[in-house]
Amino acid sequence: MSTYRSAGLVGALALALTLTACGSSSDDGDPAGTSGNKAATRVFTADNGKVTIPADPKRVVATGYAVPALIENDAPLVGISSWQRGEAMMSDADLATYKKLTKVAGESAAETNYEAIAEAEPDLIVLGVPTPVLGDIDMKRLKSIAPVVAIGPTVPAQWREVSRKHADAAGVLDAYQATKAAYEAKAAELKKKYQSALAGLKFGHVGAYGDTSKGTFQREFGDSWGTSVAQDIGATYYGKVKKAGPGSQSVSEYPSIEELSDSLGEADVITYSVDPDGSVPESVKYAMDSKLWQNLPAVKKHLAFPIAYTEAATYGDALKTLAAIDKSFAPLLDR
């Protein structure tokens, strides 16, 4: 079974994030709020407003997108939600940590176990869910346990800033910066490697969220799941959504299979999402099995390439995406 999210969750990513930095809660000029005998606090700006949180959290509960970010950056976690779709992207060490941590919520916000969260005795709760999903959570009950910051994405490419805010809230920003630097160094290396090969090429992408029951495929544009990491090495995804909507609907659309030629006919190169093991999701296979696919100029020229790990939600995940792209794009160097 594919690890990709349902189109229903995609549609939930609808509201804008407040991505401003956190400020001071101190009245005495101490910017970190570290003076005095009281436990130091600071004011953190999140999707749910300005929240007073520990300056140096010791016991953190994380859910949703915060789970991979905080495991990767060695935050002091005492409980997490399930994050099945990201298990294949985790390192062995991170996966071991993920498996041993107490699960206090399921895959959806509605599956939050408040008793389990209380038993974990957190001093900070980081909700990594989109703003529309907050309605499924009893925020009053959570706030009675510990300070709560909600930080979720609007469009897929925002995983970079969202994961930074998760790390910042949990007090592990230094670790985040180190992983970010490693990613950026690798991306710069590949951008230089493929600079000539990618110059002037128009890319199109087939994503994994098409609905075969409705006869649709997913066309992704720039800043979407399957495109944003490739963009970091110089790939240019042409076009834009015909009828833009909120959130992810501004960077992807769902044409009928009969529109395949119209949607991707101008692409010099086509990329498509595959699962971490390289298998093709049914929604993508549906497009590739079409006779219209075989007639696309890029396909005829053997310039259709798979990309794995397109659901990267951290810089560590995205390093795997870069490696997958490097492997897939290698034939372009011989053109």
Structural tokens at position 256: 């009928």
Q: Do 122 and 60 contact (CB within 8 A), yes or no?
A: yes
pLDDT tens sequence across 3-55: 444 443 334 433 333 333 333 333 333 434 444 446 799 999 999 999 999 99
The edge-to-edge listing of strands for the beta sheet with 252-253 is 252-253, 218-220, 203-207, 269-273, 304-307
Average of per-residue pLDDT values in the chain: 89
pLDDT tens sequence across 165-177: 999 999 999 999 9
- What is the Rg, in whole angstroms, of the alpha carbon atoms belonging to the chain? 21
Mean pLDDT of 285-310: 98
Q: Kindly indicate the confidence band of residue 214, based on its pLDDT and cuts at 50, 70 and 90.
A: very high
Strand partners, 7: none
pLDDT of 133 reads 82
pLDDT tens sequence across 113-139: 999 999 999 999 999 988 778 889 999
Cα–Cα distance between 92 and 96 in angstroms, integer?
A: 6
**CA atoms in the 13 A half-sphere facing the CB of 215:** 4
Q: Kindly indicate the confidence band of residue 226, based on its pLDDT and cuts at 50, 70 and 90.
A: very high
Q: Domains of the chain (ranges plus CATH)?
A: 7-171 (3.40.50.1980), 185-334 (3.40.50.1980)
Distances (CA, A) of 79 to 53, 87, 105: 17, 16, 9
Long-range Cβ pairs for the range 327-333 (8 Å, 24+):
328/271, 329/194, 329/197, 329/198, 329/305, 331/302, 331/305, 332/194, 332/197, 332/198, 332/269, 332/303, 333/193, 333/194, 333/197
pLDDT of 38 reads 61
